Amino acid sequence: MIQPTHRNLAMAIFMLTCTLSAPQAFGNSVDLYFPVQPPRPGAAQRAQFTAISMDMFRERMARLGDPQLAAIRQLNGTAPDSIGLLGEIAGEWTGVDGYVTYTQDFPTVGFLQILLRGYEATREATSNRYRAEWDRRIYWLNIDGDGPGIPHLLPALELTSSYVPAVNDSFPEFYSDANVIAECTATSPCALNWVPFVSYRDPVTDYSGYPEGAADADLYFVANANGDAVAVSLDLYDANGEPDGRTPMNAGDELKLSTIGYKLDEPGFVYVLGYMDFVTIDTGVSIERKYYVPGQDFVDPNLVNLNAGPRKIKFLLEAYRENGSTPSYGFGGPFNLGFTWSGVPDFLFSGNMEALVPDGTSVQAAPSAND
Amino acid sequence: MLDTLDETPERRAQLTAGVVRRIDVRRKALSCLQATAAIGVSAGLIALAAPGIGNYPLVAWVAFAPWLASLSRLAPAAGALSGLVMGMAYIAPGRWSTFNAAIGAAGYQGATLVGYTLLFFLIFALPFALFGALDRRLHLLARGGLQRVALLRASVLASLICGIWSPFAYTPASMIVEHAPMLQLAAIGGEPLVLFVLLWPSALIAALLQSQRPMRQRIVALVPMALCLLAIAGQGYWRINSLEQAEASGAGIRLSAMPLQLDLPARASPIMLSRDRAHSSLSALELSRDSLQRAPHCELVVWPETPLQSVHQEQLCAAGPQLANKLGLPLMMQCQRRNGARNQLTAEWLRPGQTETPFHAKSSLVLLYEKPLWGEGRYSVGAPGKVFTLDAQRRLIPTICYELHSRAHLRAGVLAGGNIVVHMASFAAFARHPIDIWDQGMARLRAVEFGVPIVRASNRGPVGWIDALGRERSLSARFGHQAHCESVFSPAGAPVLHARLAPIAAWLPASMVLLLIAAGWLLSAYRPHHYLRRTHSPSSITRHNRNTQ
């Protein structure tokens, strides 16, 4: 039983404690001594993120889209061994792209859909369904430099699957490449792929004036009808972000790749994830179209504890609408494809392909459903 | 046989005690139910009045009455519990997800995230709990007089809410920022005085609901309060009229400022700010330049707080002088500077062609977000009150995001001669929850409290300016990517009374009322014969008894 005197004493102590200081009322310092430490950064937290508006992203993509290329982009072909991916998004859109992704949770950022491959999606008549064909493979960059034997994911967005070099197109370097001329013909066209946000340093240029201490660059490569890369080029930007010409990759150059992520509650933005250090090109570069399982086939020290095998593979639609000077963006899905990364080669068909099973990562869904 | 047993005195006593216990339990249950229902009604009325939720500010004037009426019957412990529940019911609905998102953005997850969010709201409930515990004593202190009880309860609750530290400076006074004449009271006694006046009708109605007086007398008891509110409104109208006349006559000062609105998520790329491509308006620099071409008379560009990582902010800041040179105008930009092993969040005053860059380091850091609960965080605090001088008349008080609600900073800035607040905000951490709406209401209170206009540049919030009377003179949509040149007026007179009283303003309402009551006691004590004469008269005894019921 608390006596009134004790109660008064307790009340007085309580009041004194509460009224010691109030920074928003007056004064600045208040220290509440709870034995709590801020969370320690994990591997996922150490990743470097930057968000870039989709407007800037598409402006960058459109820079190389000459009218001929834009026309070609509507004629997507089908690589061997491909499977059809189906997604759904309501509304009328200027364009819809389809991305093969998996979901990863990054503390302080949230769930991101990590891009593996990207295509322009084709609408099924006037329905809300859009389709893309995927050859079940991912592109990897293998550099015989400081990181021998470690392939790095190339999040490749396909600009066209019907590329035939022409004298007046945007890629004179490919027109002058004997491999490209031989492989990419009207009867057997190639695919042209874009990998944005590559950091590049050559051994002779002073990059001290560049924001990141390196030139921002986009990597392009041509893949033949079988999907194998036959030519590669880098599109460079200067310190102010202005286009600064193209270059082939040479021994001694340094590269740092990024991956691309999409956050479902930020449809107007693309997230660029830096996860690796610069790697020096030694004797050459190879772009591999392989079915690697990171964590099993190789271990990347920058991706500790990543076992990609059990990751569910999903299909995400990203749509844009041009409204004069203010375009709008939206996501459809992501849709579970019914298999994990380790199940990709053996996958034949699943009811999920037609039933369209959202993975629960839509903005309204509970985060626990992100797997 | 049983009937016979019931006839024994012991049995009768047992039965009577049992009935009394049952009645007592039922009475307590009923009382608990009534108290809970009253809290529910009050919480509903508060939600109806709150900005960004119901938006009916008139309801705010009576919203606390049901709870206060239910509180007066409770014992201190039950009162404290009632207060705790009321405090949570007042603040948490409609706001939980907002602050949960912000604490989550600071890196906390799972049970820790829920725990911190709960703690965050419990701190808001603390003044209510304390008030609930004290309430019965307040009644004793006021000796039962209706008007005294109402004044004492309203003033003590207002002082506790404003005086006890909370992690976000929101109080119920923000509900009535649309009532501009009443808001002018803040120039005298700040938000605590406004809150006191706001709670007064609720407290008086609560007392009247408990009173046994005839209805006519209860209505008459409202008259003094109504007259006071009318007088306050009259003073407010007079103040508004005076400043409008000053503005129309060309007194005071004017500033053409361009606050920028951006729509960037957390961890935006620095190129979203610094990219410099011709004929484009996608970056902050490109947008500013594009807008300045349409408004060549503009004198100053203000960028909002930028949601960049530290390393990127440092890079951007290194390019700051170049950015000002490219714009050809003074640019106020948020940066980070190294301060020993830690960083400071700064507002940089970049002027074209000037090598020296004055800066203000943020003087009030946000708990859990910019400073941890325990130990030293990444950032160190700066000194409050820095003023940037545009010319002899125009002196700007730079304010970074939540620092707008640091009265220490605004007070020091105003007393140092600052006459326009330039606010750089970013609400990116709140994931488009309506925090900017609540912040806007609080900003309007700050403008009146210190008698200065506020120019607001914002990321993921509205931009524009608030005049010194707390009125929104120009306000954009909540989200967008735009810049307009605003012609801002400041009375630029002597600091208002609250600017001087700010350090003690929170405790003024309770202190004033307690002093008045003490003065009443003293007067009574020095007039014993008069009192005796009155109390000896049978009619005065009846009157006295009626008054105390």
Token pair recorded at residue A205:
């240029």
Residues 381-440 of B with CB under 8 A from A: 381, 384, 405-408, 411, 431-432
**Cα–Cα distance for residue pair B207/B213, rounded to 1 Å:** 11
pTM: 0.83
Q: Check residue A306 and give its pLDDT.
A: 62
Q: Which segment of A104-113, A125-134, B65-74, B456-465 scores lowest on mean pLDDT?
A: A104-113
Question: Are residues B264 and A51, on separate chains, in Cβ contact within 8 Å?
Answer: yes
Mean pLDDT of the A182-190 span: 90
Q: In this model, does residue A357 exceed pLDDT 70?
A: no
**Cα–Cα distance for residue pair B431/B101, rounded to 1 Å:** 7
3-class DSSP state of B273: helix
**Cα–Cα distance for residue pair B425/B456, rounded to 1 Å:** 7
Q: In this model, does residue A365 exceed pLDDT 70?
A: no
ipTM over 0.90: no
Selected residue with higher pLDDT from A330 and A110:
A330
Mean pLDDT of the A53-72 span: 66
Question: Are residues A39 and B109, on separate chains, in Cβ contact within 8 Å?
Answer: yes
Interface contact A324, partner B, CB < 8 A: no
Q: Who among B76, B272, B408 is closest to A53 (CB)? A: B272
- Is residue B460 within 8 Å of residue B481, measured between CB atoms? no
The C-alpha of A124 sits at a distance from chain B's nearest C-alpha, in angstroms, of 33
Contacts of B165 in chain A (CB under 8 A): 18, 20-25, 30
CA–CA–CA angle A291, A294, A296 (5° rounding): 95
What's the length of chain A?
A: 371
Question: Are residues A38 and B107, on separate chains, in Cβ contact within 8 Å?
Answer: yes
Q: In this model, does residue A353 exceed pLDDT 50?
A: no
Q: Check residue A153 and give its pLDDT.
A: 86
**Cα–Cα distance for residue pair A275/A60, rounded to 1 Å:** 22
Sign of CA dihedral B429, B435, B440, B445: negative
DSSP B58: G
Token pair recorded at residue B307:
């949601």
Residues 50-69 of B with CB under 8 A from A: none
Mean pLDDT of the A291-308 span: 73
Q: Check residue B40 and give its pLDDT.
A: 95
Interface contact B96, partner A, CB < 8 A: no
* Chain A contact probe: residue of B118, B137, B156, B267 with most A CBs at under 10 A: B267
Q: Who among B109, B268, B506 is closest to A51 (CB)? A: B268
Residues of chain B falling short of pLDDT 70:
1-7, 15, 19-20, 22-23, 528-549
Percent of chain A with pLDDT over 70: 71
Question: Are residues B282 and A39, on separate chains, in Cβ contact within 8 Å?
Answer: no
Question: Are residues A37 and B363, on separate chains, in Cβ contact within 8 Å?
Answer: no
Question: What band does A60 get if pLDDT is binned at 50, 70 and 90?
Answer: confident
Question: Are residues A211 and B270, on separate chains, in Cβ contact within 8 Å?
Answer: yes
Q: Cα B116 to the chain's mean position, in Å?
A: 21
**Cα–Cα distance for residue pair B81/B61, rounded to 1 Å:** 24
Interface contact A26, partner B, CB < 8 A: yes
Size of interface A-B (CB pairs under 8 A): 140
Residue-wise pLDDT for B165-180, tens only, equals 988 889 999 999 999 9
Residue-wise pLDDT for A68-82, tens only, equals 443 333 334 455 567
Contacts of B506 in chain A (CB under 8 A): 22, 25-26
Interface contact B129, partner A, CB < 8 A: no
* Chain A contact probe: residue of B108, B126, B164, B174 with most A CBs at under 10 A: B164
Token pair recorded at residue B477:
């949509």
**Cα–Cα distance for residue pair A283/A77, rounded to 1 Å:** 34
- Which amino acid makes up residue B449? E
Token pair recorded at residue A130:
């859009």
Contacts of A63 in chain B (CB under 8 A): none
- Is residue A207 within 8 Å of residue A201, measured between CB atoms? yes
Question: Are residues A19 and B280, on separate chains, in Cβ contact within 8 Å?
Answer: no
Residues 6+ apart with CB under 8 A from B80: B129, B130, B132, B133
Q: Check residue B153 and give its pLDDT.
A: 96
Phi/psi of residue B465, nearest 5 degrees: -150, 150
Question: What band does A236 get if pLDDT is binned at 50, 70 and 90?
Answer: very high
- Which amino acid makes up residue B62? V
